[in-house]
Amino acid sequence: MTSVDADKQAERGAKSSTGHERDDLPPVIAIDGPSGAGKGAVAQVLANQLNYHLLDSGAVYRAAAIICKKAGADISSESSVLAALDAFQATFHPQGTDGVVVMIGEENITNELRTQQTAEIASQIAVMQPIRAALLDEQRSFRQPPGLIADGRDMGTVVFPDAQLKVFLTASVEERANRRAKQLKEKGIETTMAVLMAEIDARDKRDSTREHAPLKAAHDALFIDSSSLSIEEVVDLIVNAASSE
Ligand code: C5P
């Protein structure tokens, strides 16, 4: 089956004959967009405010990247990556407002999840369709009552095509690099804007030009540019849009 077929089938399976969200499934608010657009912070505030579950799908890809590293997988080989994902499993333990603790067996990998190297490997294995397919069920298992806030690149287009509300959240590359620089500085890591902008640009290109589930706005997504908006302002826009659905 091609990825397009798989995506269409996913969409058919998730929708009722009327094309609307299936009544028996908890509602989902899908937030997609490039790295550094503020998806994570907005999703966390929304999940707390609505008392919904939270899926940081980037963490699922990052955990898969760490599994590959641990297993010594060849990340240019689909079969090698799949074998690593078969051998190890990451578990996700939500900590309320403090995000999520991620474990592989007894090992806490939460800090390793956030490194630049992990992001790079995640983005490289994320281009492979069999890897994306292997991670689908895990992501969909977060859809529990009373509802889910899901953030990522393909939440509204592939993973939850029947989401109650789809948001595409973006910001200028300069603003995203600025935000990243601030985060890194808080961790005592110095870098230059030029390096950060080049890294963000390269990852954006890979994510949005890949063949399978590329980063793109769903046709029915609400587009929000967060360059000059606070987290609270973005949250308000989304809550208002969700309540008028
Ligand atoms: O969002 P985050 O930066 O944690 O994601 C790391 C990488 O995982 C992204 O650059 C992207 O390549 C991949 N990813 C993806 N689909 C998602 C979430 C993340 O391909 N839904």
Domain assignment present for 21? no
The residue with greater pLDDT, 51 or 9, is 51
Task: Tell me phi and psi for residue 96, to 5 degrees.
Answer: 60, -130
Q: State residue 20's pLDDT score.
A: 44
Q: State residue 239's pLDDT score.
A: 97
Q: State residue 23's pLDDT score.
A: 63
Same domain for 48 and 158, yes or no, is yes
Domain assignment present for 2? no
Q: Which of the listed residues 127, 145, 163 is the one where a domain comes to its end?
A: 145
> Angle, nearest 10°, between helix axes 193-209 and 116-125?
20
Q: For residue 13, is pLDDT > 50?
A: no
Q: For residue 49, is pLDDT > 70?
A: yes
Task: Kindly state the average pLDDT of the residues 140-167.
Answer: 97
Q: State residue 244's pLDDT score.
A: 86
Q: The pTM is what?
A: 0.87
Same domain for 116 and 231, yes or no, is no
Task: Give the Å distance between the CA of 153 and the centre of ligand 1.
Answer: 6
Same domain for 242 and 155, yes or no, is yes
What lines the ligand 1 site, CB under 6 Å? 35, 57-58, 61-62, 119, 122-123, 126, 152-154, 203, 207
Same domain for 160 and 213, yes or no, is yes
Same domain for 48 and 86, yes or no, is no
H helices of the chain, in order, are 3-14, 39-50, 57-71, 78-87, 116-125, 129-134, 136-140, 173-186, 193-209, 231-243
Angle, vertex CA 148, rays to CA 142 and CA 149, nearest 5: 110
Per-residue pLDDT band for 170 (boundaries 50, 70, 90) equals: very high
Q: Which of the listed residues 145, 178, 199 is the one where a domain comes to its end?
A: 145
Q: Which residue has the tokens 């600025």?
A: 178
- For residue 215, give its domain range: 27-52+147-245
Task: Kindly state the average pLDDT of the residues 151-169.
Answer: 97
Domain assignment present for 226? yes
Q: Which of the listed residues 97, 121, 145 is the one where a domain comes to its end?
A: 145
What does the radius of gyration of the chain's CA atoms come to, in whole angstroms? 17
What stretch of H or E contains 222? strand 222-225
Q: For residue 16, is pLDDT > 50?
A: no
Same domain for 178 and 121, yes or no, is no
Same domain for 227 and 138, yes or no, is no
Same domain for 119 and 170, yes or no, is no
Domains held by the chain: number? 2
The residue with greater pLDDT, 4 or 208, is 208
State which of 114, 123, 154 you would mutate to test the pocket of ligand 1, scoring each by most atoms of that ligand within 8 A of its C-beta. 123
Write down the mean pLDDT value for the chain: 89
Q: State residue 50's pLDDT score.
A: 96
Domain assignment present for 125? yes
Q: State residue 126's pLDDT score.
A: 94
Q: Where is average pLDDT lowest: 16-20, 21-25, 157-161, 236-240?
A: 16-20
Same domain for 46 and 64, yes or no, is no
Omega into 34 within 30° of 0, i.e. cis?
A: no
